[in-house]
């Protein structure tokens, strides 16, 4: 008697039937093809965490049809998903990744439903504009019977994100512009504005002479800075406009400051 049969007999002695009433009650694991049985145990472990129970279920199926798991594998392949759990998980992840892509930008980059997706890191302003359009279209064509409200919320979040990103330059310009609107603060802590109102700004109604003097010095300082800048660089409309506002403010605050 060879070693293989001895091992099979030892295994057969150790086998205890745990699921009574199955078609494989009178059989032992040694009676089955080892490859087919291993394949069957892998599949049945999707339904139970007990290896011995999985083995008995697999044995029942193999008694009914020794090619049961081969046929099952063919059916799964025909339906488009893997046979074992690892393959299924991999294919599910791949399908989900494809489902999360709602379109492409004009430059050919994928637009993901998740606004913080790693593929968006290299998006340009134009790419964000294309993504904004894609999400806006998804929201307007949303069908509550085919898609969940969670998906709609994701599109709304992404819409806001891409709107901010495509207008990032404009936001920065606004911040820079806002800085130009304030010349500084007086010694009493009052804000000195830069506007066409000059020294007659509505917020200056309760100012003292000292406040106007402080404002005059601040505006004069900015006039000198801008004059120096205009001498070094090309003149632009913003610099000219600021210079006009500051110089008018100097004269206005000088009169009110005594």
- DSSP per-residue codes, 207-233: --HHHHHHHHHHHHHHHHHHHHHHHHS
* pLDDT on residue 89: 64
Q: Is residue 46 part of a domain?
A: yes
Q: Is residue 70 part of a domain?
A: yes
Q: How confident is the model over 148-153, as a mean pLDDT? A: 80
* pLDDT on residue 87: 63
Strands 101-104 and 110-112: what pairing?
antiparallel
User: What SS3 state is found at 50?
Assistant: coil
Which range marks the domain in which residue 63 is found?
A: 3-91
Q: What are phi and psi of 104, to 5 degrees?
A: -135, 155
66 plus 108 within the same structural domain:
no
Sign of CA dihedral 58, 64, 69, 73: negative
pLDDT-based confidence at residue 229 (cuts at 50, 70, 90): low
Q: Which of 65, 91, 117 is the last residue of a domain?
A: 91
pLDDT-based confidence at residue 138 (cuts at 50, 70, 90): confident
CB–CB of 255/199 below 8 Å? yes
Give 3-31 pLDDT, tens digit per residue. Answer: 554 554 555 455 566 666 677 778 888 88
Q: Which residue has the higher pLDDT, 76 or 1?
A: 76
pLDDT-based confidence at residue 1 (cuts at 50, 70, 90): very low
108 plus 155 within the same structural domain:
yes
56 plus 107 within the same structural domain:
no
Q: Which of 29, 56, 91 is the last residue of a domain?
A: 91
Most confident stretch, 7-21, 118-132, 177-191: 118-132
Question: DSSP character for 119?
Answer: G
157 plus 186 within the same structural domain:
no
Q: Which of 63, 91, 119 is the last residue of a domain?
A: 91
240 plus 181 within the same structural domain:
yes
126 plus 68 within the same structural domain:
no
CA 229 to CA 177: how far, in whole Å?
17
* pLDDT on residue 19: 67
CB–CB of 46/25 below 8 Å? no
pLDDT-based confidence at residue 163 (cuts at 50, 70, 90): confident
Q: How confident is the model over 124-142, as a mean pLDDT? A: 84
Q: Is residue 224 part of a domain?
A: yes
- Per the prediction, the chain carries an average pLDDT of 77
Q: Is residue 97 part of a domain?
A: no
Q: Is residue 98 part of a domain?
A: no
Q: How confident is the model over 212-241, as a mean pLDDT? A: 74
């Amino acid at each position: 008697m060879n070693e293989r049969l001895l091992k099979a007999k030892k295994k057969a002695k150790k086998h205890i039937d745990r699921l009574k009433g199955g078609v494989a009650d009178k059989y032992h694991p040694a009676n089955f093809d080892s490859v087919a049985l291993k394949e069957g145990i892998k599949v049945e472990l999707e339904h139970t965490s007990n290896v011995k129970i999985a083995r008995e279920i697999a044995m029942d199926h193999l008694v009914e049809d020794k090619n049961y798991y081969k046929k099952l594998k063919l059916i799964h392949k025909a339906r488009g998903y893997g046979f074992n759990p690892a393959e299924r998980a991999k294919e599910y992840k791949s399908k989900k990744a494809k489902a999360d892509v709602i379109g492409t930008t004009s430059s050919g980059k994928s637009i993901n439903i998740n606004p913080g997706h790693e593929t968006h890191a290299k998006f340009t302003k134009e790419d964000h504009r294309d993504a904004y359009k894609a999400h806006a279209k998804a929201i307007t064509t949303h069908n509550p019977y085919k898609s969940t409200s969670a998906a709609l919320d994701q599109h709304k979040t992404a819409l806001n994100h891409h709107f901010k990103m495509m207008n990032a330059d404009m936001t920065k310009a606004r911040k820079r512009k806002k800085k130009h609107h304030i010349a500084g603060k007086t010694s009493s802590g009052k804000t000195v504005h830069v506007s066409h109102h000059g020294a007659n700004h509505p917020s200056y109604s309760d100012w003292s002479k000292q406040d106007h003097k402080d404002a005059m010095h601040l505006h004069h300082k900015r006039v000198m800075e801008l004059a120096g800048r205009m001498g070094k660089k090309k003149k632009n409309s913003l610099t000219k406009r600021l210079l006009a506002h500051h110089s008018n403010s100097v004269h206005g605050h000088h009169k009110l400051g005594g």
